Amino acid sequence: MANIFISLSGEGRGHATRVRAVVESLRHEHKIHLFASGDAFQFLRPHYEDSEVRVQRIAGLRFHYTPEHRLDFTRTGFAATRFARRLPSLVRMLGRRIESVRPDLVIADFEPALPRAAKNCGVPFISLDHQHFLTTYDLGSLPLKLRLHAAFMALVVRAYFQGQRENVVSSFYFPPLRRGVRNTTQVGVMLRPEIVAAESTNQGHLVAYWRRTASDRMLDALRDTGREVRVYGLGARPSSGNLQFQAIDERRFIEDLASCDALVSTAGNQLVGEALNFGKAVFVVPEERNFEQYINGHFLAQSGAGEWCEMREFDGRRLNSFLAQVDAYKSRICPDRMNGLPGALAAIRRHLPGSSVPARELVGDGNRIAA
């Protein structure tokens, strides 16, 4: 039995659902310690209360949005500055935890403090997230403007941490790797046991997931479909015509997603992959100024499994046009490729004591290896 420390970003639910899938597969053979902030901590804590899995709250970066539902660069930048000032003390605290427990492996899902502490303490660590696609994937098929944004975001990703033994990139799309990148494993999204167990049916309704970004105009577009729409992310409220506003409930959301005709949502990697796993066509509307989501939208459209548009372009006409072509989108989906959990678990086990696969030494910037 190994001791494994896992840290994750607290922004949104994608990181938390990804990590939970991994934890559920490892918890019965290894001792797991989770370190999370924000939404991720709130999501994970109820699952592991009174269990052998330890969940500890840590400080984390929080994104801020304008009243117009755009990513607020100024407030988010100030939040990042405050977090950067707190980061050294957080790394020291986590270093003390590492020295006390001496984990066999650290796994980081786009969280900067724990891998830095692991590096300081000489404990091996790997990256398991979506964001490292920015440093490892060939993005040459994207428009020039998005490639420039991706290059800038890649600098941020590299600044989070370096020295990982391996990058495990979880994504619903699989472009070639950049030339020279070798210590990277491409896998699909991490599917929770409840997702794997659910049966895909079609009961005719739509599922919408908006998080904090839904405007009245976007809700009007959903109304214009005339279809029953089960809306998540905005909290429970009275129904409005064909819109049913649901509180976040993991079991019910999975049931609704598995039985819907199509998903309309922001362009988070994890949720899109879960929908494609069920064979559902997807229409994504990236959060404004969230360029990672714009990239996800482009790759979704390139796959032929769905469509995307910018928030200001989203209306009933665009949505109804998408719904008229749902069967064509569904015919292009390869659900079997979406489950990345087996590949991720194999990568994790390569770095645990007793593995028959020799550990590899990293050199350079953490994106190349030498045998």
Domain-wise residue ranges, the chain: 3-190+340-363, 194-337
Name the residue among 60, 56, 78 with its Cα closest to residue 10.
Answer: 60
Starting at the edge strand that comes first in sequence, how are the strands of the sheet with 243-245 ordered?
A: 237-240, 243-245, 229-232, 206-209, 262-265, 281-284, 306-308
CA-CA distance, 233 to 299, in Å (whole number)? 24
pLDDT in 10s for each residue of the chain, 371 residues:
999 999 999 876 789 999 999 999 999 999 999 999 988 999 999 999 989 999 999 988 776 566 655 666 677 676 677 877 889 999 999 999 999 999 999 999 999 999 999 999 999 999 999 999 999 999 999 999 999 999 999 999 999 999 999 999 999 999 999 999 989 999 999 999 999 999 999 999 999 998 766 788 899 999 999 999 999 998 899 999 999 999 989 899 999 999 999 999 999 999 999 999 999 999 999 988 889 999 999 999 999 999 999 999 999 999 999 999 999 999 999 999 999 999 999 999 999 997 655 544 333 333 322 22
Query: Topology of domain 3-190+340-363, per CATH?
Result: Rossmann fold (3.40.50)
Asked whether 74 and 320 are in contact (CB, 8 A), the reply is no
Contacts of 179 (CB under 8 A, 6+ apart): 138
**Residue 315: φ, ψ to 5°:** -155, 180
Q: What is the DSSP string of 164-192?
A: -S-EEEE-S--PPBPTT--SEEEE-B---
CATH homologous superfamily of 194-337 equals Glycogen Phosphorylase B; (3.40.50.2000)
pTM of the prediction?
0.88
Contacts of 94 (CB under 8 A, 6+ apart): 7, 35, 58, 113, 114, 117
Domains 3-190+340-363 and 194-337 share a fold: yes
Torsion on CA atoms 163, 107, 270, 145, rounded to nearest 10 = -10
CA distances from 146 to 77, 152, 310, 336 (A): 21, 10, 13, 29
Show the tokens assigned to 53: 């899995």
Task: Give the other-Cβ count within 10 Å of 306's Cβ.
Answer: 28
